[in-house]
Amino acid sequence: MKEKKISVRVDNDLNDSLAKEAKKRGQTVGALIRTFIVDGLYRYDAATEQLLQNGETLERLILRVERVVGANLHSLIEQQVLQNKPHDGESQAEYTKRLRASYSEKVHKAVEKGSAIKDVA
């Protein structure tokens, strides 16, 4: 592999610290700096990968929670809506339409209350 030279400016204190550390390790300053660069890139890549994996895990968990909340909301509202009995003279189609409207209204109210709680918290 062909090597390429790069230049980096450092202040005197950092230069002295690098020289002392290189001497302590029995390395040249250049070798020490290369070690730091490789180590820094590896840690950056590992940390970045871990963050991506954590983000994907969180997304999956949030989807699961949303499904559970949605199922619970549906179940609770369905129980409330099904307590509505047909009115005298109401056709099956009208009754079904009224139940659907009631269900939709209750879902919207529940969602609004949920967002209000989130905003307050």
Residue 2 lies in a domain: no
Residue 15 domain-assigned (yes or no)? yes
Of 91 and 48, more confident: 91
Share of the chain above pLDDT 70, in %: 93
Whether 44 maps to a domain, the answer reads yes
Tell me if 33 sits within 8 A of 42, measured CB to CB.
no
Parent domain of 105: 84-121
Of 76, 82, 79, 80, give the one whose Cα is nearest residue 95: 82
- The answer to the question of residue 78 being in a domain is no
Pair (36, 88) in one structural domain: no
- The mean of the pLDDT values for the chain is 87
Are 65 and 98 in the same domain? no
Task: Convert the pLDDT of each residue in 66-113 to its tens digit.
Answer: 888 888 888 888 888 888 899 999 999 999 999 999 888 888 888 787
Residue 58 lies in a domain: yes
User: Which long-range contacts does 85-93 make (Cβ < 8 Å, 24+ apart)?
Assistant: none
User: How many domains, in total, are found in the chain?
Assistant: 2
Asked if residue 16 and residue 63 are part of one domain, the reply reads yes
What pLDDT does 52 receive? Answer: 86
